[in-house]
Amino acid sequence: MSARTAGAAAAAAPAPRPAAAGTLSRALSRVLLAAFALAVAVDLGSLLAGAELGHRIAKPLLMPLLAAYAATRGAPKLLLGALLLGWGGDVLLLGDADWAFLVGMGSFAAGHVCYLALFGRRPASVPLGIAYAAALLGTVVLLWPDLPAGLRIPVTGYSLLLAAMAYRSGSLGLTAGAGGALFLLSDTLIATGWWSQLPAPAVWVMATYIAAQYLLTAGVLTQAYGERSTAD
């Protein structure tokens, strides 16, 4: 075959089909989101039924599935990092050892740092910041007397990071802001012991946490698509 014939054949060959690739990616996103929803149902259902094994199986699947879904939607690396660090905390806090609690809290704290870096310097509501600062101060004052001496500084530092993340999440809009608020609520329920006074207490803690991570993810993805659209 001559070079001219080869060139003509190459020109006649069908071009890549980005639309087909996009359809496949959307289909994979839907499958992963459905798998995440199934894991949520199994986890919360297991907690309601008192089936500890189901919770221990489903809980470690939640954040990897949500992260995989976000990855198929073109999520920023910082979002994926925050979700996977949340997964690390989820797994570590399944244990009862003191070291697992501290390392798990550190993993969640690193996830909050990822979120804060992701939110950047976007403007946020000043009154909302005052409200979160008051909530942080009140929670620390409430917890301080009952905390072991070795946990006072780590818990205070974590609480500061969590409140900052919750406040700054509002800079991405209502969806992400609701996610940040629910994350703060979930951890506050655990820290104060208020969750034990609710019906099906463990369900409330996990439901608010799962909703928080999902809403933060949805808010970040919505913002990312909006920024790409504006850039285009």
pLDDT 10s digits, 155-213: 999 999 999 999 999 999 999 999 999 999 999 988 887 767 778 889 999 999 999 99
pTM reported for the whole predicted model: 0.85
> For residue 13, is it left (φ>0), alpha (ψ between -120 and 50) or beta?
beta
Cα separation, 119 vs 137, whole angstroms: 23
pLDDT at position 161 is 96
pLDDT at position 169 is 96
pLDDT at position 23 is 80
224-232 — which CB contacts under 8 Å span 24+ positions?
Answer: 224/74, 224/75, 224/76
Reported as a single tens digit per residue, the pLDDT across 148-159 is: 888 889 899 999
Answer for the pair 208, 189: CB distance below 8 angstroms, yes or no: yes
pLDDT at position 3 is 45
Please choose, from the candidates 183, 189, 216, the residue with its C-alpha nearest in 3D space to the C-alpha of residue 202: 189
Cα separation, 99 vs 103, whole angstroms: 6
pLDDT at position 192 is 80
pLDDT at position 142 is 87
Binned average pLDDT, 10 residues per bin, the chain of 232 residues: 46 54 83 98 96 96 98 96 98 90 94 96 91 92 87 91 96 96 93 78 94 97 65 40
110 CB-near residues (< 8 Å, 6+ apart): 85
